[in-house]
Amino acid sequence: MTDTTHTETDEASDGEAIENPTIAVTGAAGYIGSRVVVEFQEAYPDWELIAIDNQYRGQVDSIGDVDIEHVDVRNRDRLEDALAGADVVCHLAAISGVDDCDENRDLAYEVNVTGTNNVAWFCRKTGAALAFPFSMAVLGDPESFPITADQPRDPLNWYGRTKLLGERAIEGFADGAFPAHLFLKSNLYGEHVVDGTEVGKPTVINFFVNRALAGKTLTVYEPGTQARNFVHVKDVARAYVRSAERLVEQLERGETGTETYEIASDEDMSVMEVAEIVREVASEEREIDVDVKLVENPRSAETMVEEFEVDISTARRRISWEPTESVAESVHRLLER
């Protein structure tokens, strides 16, 4: 892992103690952001929370006693007004996913690149700390295993390219001005509930579960042996809380620059293996029999590697983060509904 953390500052924090930090979450109405807000509420009820989202893919309007303010990260003036007073910004607003970015290339650039620059510029001007996920998509085909964040960047799709531009921008803005954590994050799965609302996303595991519940064939893109690392949304959300704890300490010490963390799990399995788990659990739990079928892969711009082990030792050591959820247990819970 390559870090660029420094102790010197320019226009950044002056190293004062922060008793009850103010945490801002962009993309707070979305799949990950809403869970991040919940995790902060449960872990630190005395901390102040700012939640913003433009509701492009939002699934909730409020979380507990926190109302989500309608703000678009592309509008710098409104963004800076909304973030005013934040000690740490968890920047989760994004056009996420390969298909969405390919179909909305201009929008993906404006949100993922321009919007991220706007957030990072706010942090540089105010000294607020920043946590930002930039996705495994920046790597393209990993060169070696286990995967680490210091591997070369070679994105295979527009999503990966926009996230790479965001990563590079934050590295530049943070230098000498504020501390930032960059998350090389693997494939998410799982659902969660926010104030009675079930929040989810059609990730590959959720997709298979929903098809199984409908009694439909589980379609696996050829060759089926392509592997992914799967990490639960709740585990990822907890990483932002652990990250914020460290970022507050770094602000108090006057540190600046970036640290990069691999956020993944110990489960790296093929897409076919995942489909088989869902098929078996659907039969056991719901007595639903579904088939698994290989179909032509419409995505040429994605990695087809057959292993996807990720080294998460840095996150374990520096922010005391550990994945706790498993694919099989999550599939059981989803199919027990």
Is 192-228+266-308+324-335 in the same CATH topology as 22-186+233-263? Answer: no
Distance, CA of 66 to CA of 78 (rounded, Å): 19
Note the CATH number of domain 22-186+233-263.
3.40.50.720
The CATH-assigned architecture of domain 192-228+266-308+324-335 is Alpha-Beta Complex (3.90)
Q: SS in 3 state form for the chain?
A: CCCCCECCCCCCCCCCCCCCCEEEEECCCCCCHHHHHHHHHHHCCCCEEEEEECCCCCCCCEECCEECEECCCCCHHHHHHHHCCCCEEEECCCCCCHHHHHHCHHHHHHHHHHHHHHHHHHHHHHCCEEEEECCHHHCCCCCCCCECCCCCCCCCCHHHHHHHHHHHHHHHHHCCCCEEEEEEECEEECCEEECCEEECCCCHHHHHHHHHHCCCCEEEECCCCCEEEEEEHHHHHHHHHHHHHHHHHHHHHCCEEEEEEEECCCCEEEHHHHHHHHHHHHHHHHCCCCCEEEECCCCCCCCCCCCCCECCHHHHHHCCCCCCCCHHHHHHHHHCC
Dihedral sign for Cα 59, 319, 87, 49, please.
positive
Nearest to 102 by CA among 166, 155, 58: 155
CB 156 within 8 A of CB 301: yes
CB 96 within 8 A of CB 116: no
- The pLDDT of residue 301 is 63
- The pLDDT of residue 16 is 84
Q: Are strands 227-232 and 268-270 parallel, antiparallel or unpaired?
A: antiparallel
- The pLDDT of residue 10 is 43
For the chain, give every domain's residue range: 22-186+233-263, 192-228+266-308+324-335
- The pLDDT of residue 143 is 85
Distance, CA of 120 to CA of 168 (rounded, Å): 11
Q: Which residues of 143-180 are buried (b: 16+ CB within 10 A; e: fewer)?
A: eeebbbbeeeeebbbbbbbbbbbbbebbbebbbebbbb
CA 269 to chain centre: 20
337 residues of the chain, pLDDT tens digit each:
557 665 544 444 457 899 999 999 999 999 999 999 999 999 999 999 999 999 998 999 999 999 999 999 999 999 999 999 999 999 999 999 888 999 999 999 999 999 999 999 999 999 999 999 998 999 998 989 999 999 999 999 999 999 999 999 999 999 999 999 999 999 999 989 999 999 998 889 989 999 999 999 999 999 999 999 999 999 999 999 999 999 999 999 999 999 999 999 999 999 999 999 999 999 999 999 999 999 998 876 677 788 899 999 999 999 999 999 999 999 999 898 6
